[in-house]
Amino acid sequence: MPRARPASSSKSTPSNPLKRPLPPNPTDPNTLTPPARQSKRLKSSPLTSSTTKITPKKSQYFSHSSTSEPESEIEAEASGYEDEDASVSAVSSPPVSDDEEDEEDGVSSEEDKKPRRKAKGRIVKKPASNGKSAANGVAANAKAIIEKGKELWRPGVKSDLAPGEEVFIKLPKARSDGGVKYKEGIIHPNTMLFLGDLKENNDREWLKIHDADYRQSKKDFDAFVEKMTEKMTEIDETIPELPPKDLTFRIYRDIRFSSDPTPYKTHFSAAWSRTGRKGPYAGYYLQIKPSGSFIGGGLWCPEAAPLAAMRRDIDRKSHKLRSVLLDPAMRKEFLGGIPKDEKKAVKAFVEQNKENALKTKPKGYDAENPNIALLRLRNYTAGRKLSDDEVVGPKAPERIAALMAALTPFITHLNSVVMPDNPGSNDSESDSEEGDDAEESAEDVQSE
C-alpha cells in the first residue's frame, strides 16, 4: 500500500534570511503577491470566482456632516478620484504582464489627451447656527452703524417739516446799483467793490454764494472791453476786432506750482494783440483792481527766438529803440516824465524790466558792449499804475485809450523786430546801413 502524504500545514515555515527566495509561480494563486503598480483600468481576476469589496478610505481633507441626515444625490455620485472607486482587493488581482502594461499605458495616455469633465464637488452642509448668536451679531452691527453715524453727524437746519413738505431757499441776488445805473463801456463802482470783497474772501464757498455779484461784475467788464476794442482798432490798425472771450483772462489761478493756495485772481484783465490775448506778438495789457489797476504793453517773457531777435536788433541798430523811448508821450506817461535825455530814458526803461534780467552778459556778446544794459533784459515792456478814478467813471475809456496810443510806437517797433511783416526787409535794411557806414568811413579816410 502506498504511503500517505502528510497534510500540508497552512502555516508557512520560516525562511532563511540568507537564502534567496524563489520567484512566485504565476499559476499558483496562493503564491501571488501584490503588483508593483495598480493599473487605472481595473480588471477582474480570471482565477477568482468571487471578489471581496473593500470600503475605500476617504481623504482627511473632506469634512463630514455630523448630522444623521441621508446624503444628497450629489454626495452619492463618484468624486472623480479613481483610487477611491477601487472595489477589488489588491490581493485578488492577478499580476499584469509587460505587454498588458504597455497596452494599458497607451490607452491611458490617449484618455489623458481627451478633455475630462470636471469632477462634481461635494456639498457640505453647515450645522444650524444658534439663534442667540445670530441675534447678537445683528445687534453688534446695528450698534456700529449708529456710532458711525454719530461721528459723521453735524448740526443742520431744523425746519419741523411734515412728510412730503419741501423748503426752497432763494438764491442771493446781486447788490443794488446804489443809484448809479449800469452803462455799457463804463466800469461800474460795484465791479470794484466785488473785487475788493473777493480779495478778503478768496475761497470757493464765498464765491459760490456771491455768484450773482461775480456774473454782474464780469458782464460789466466784458462790456467795457468790447468798447475798448473799438477804440483799439482805431489806434492800432493791426489789432483785429475780436469778441471779449478772446481778449479777457480767466479769474481762476493756476496753483499747481504756486505757494499761494488762493483759487482766484483778485482782478479783471484783458490783452489786445494781432492774435488776441495769446500769441507771439507784442500787445497791450489792461488790469483793473481796487488801488491796483495797471496798463502797459510790450513783450513779457518771450521765447528764445524772439528774445534772440531783440538782442540782435539792439546790438546792430540800438538807435531805433532809443528813439522810441525818447518819444514825448512815452516819456511823459510811462518813463516818469523824464526830460529828453537818451541815457535817462534807457535807465528808466531798464529799471522797469530788471525783475528777471541777467546778472552778467548774454551768451555771444561782449561785456564791454555799449548796449549791455539793454542786452541783459529778458522783458521789453513799459507800464504804469492807474488810480481808481482813471478806471471808474465816464472819462475812463478816453483816458485809457490815450495811454494805449502812447504805447503804439513802442509796440509797433517790437513787432517789426520779432514778427516782421516782410522778414527779408530788416536784413536788407541792415545790409544797406552797413554799406552806407562803410562808404562814409572810406570817404573820411580819403579826405584825411
pLDDT at 400: 97
pLDDT at 84: 45
pLDDT digit string (tens) for 328-386?
A: 999 999 999 999 999 999 999 999 999 999 999 999 999 999 999 999 999 999 999 99
Please check the confidence at residue 229 and state whether its pLDDT lies above 60: yes
Please check the confidence at residue 93 and state whether its pLDDT lies above 80: no
pLDDT at 253: 94
Report, as an integer, the average pLDDT of 187-204: 95
pLDDT digit string (tens) for 301-316?
A: 999 999 999 999 999 9
Report, as an integer, the average pLDDT of 143-160: 62
Please check the confidence at residue 143 and state whether its pLDDT lies above 70: yes
pLDDT digit string (tens) for 59-82?
A: 555 555 444 444 444 444 444 444
pLDDT at 142: 72
pLDDT digit string (tens) for 375-430?
A: 999 999 999 999 999 999 899 999 999 999 999 999 999 999 998 877 655 554 54
Cell 489786445 maps to which residue?
A: 272
pLDDT at 214: 96
- Residue 443: pLDDT band (50, 70, 90) is very low
Percentage of the chain lying above the pLDDT 90 cut: 51
Q: Which of 84-93, 283-292, 329-338, 428-437 has the lowest mean pLDDT?
A: 84-93
- Residue 3: pLDDT band (50, 70, 90) is low
pLDDT at 313: 96
pLDDT at 158: 66
C-alpha 90/C-alpha 281 separation (Å) is 99
- Residue 48: pLDDT band (50, 70, 90) is very low
pLDDT at 29: 55
pLDDT at 422: 72
Please check the confidence at residue 154 and state whether its pLDDT lies above 90: no
- 89 vs 322, which has greater pLDDT? 322
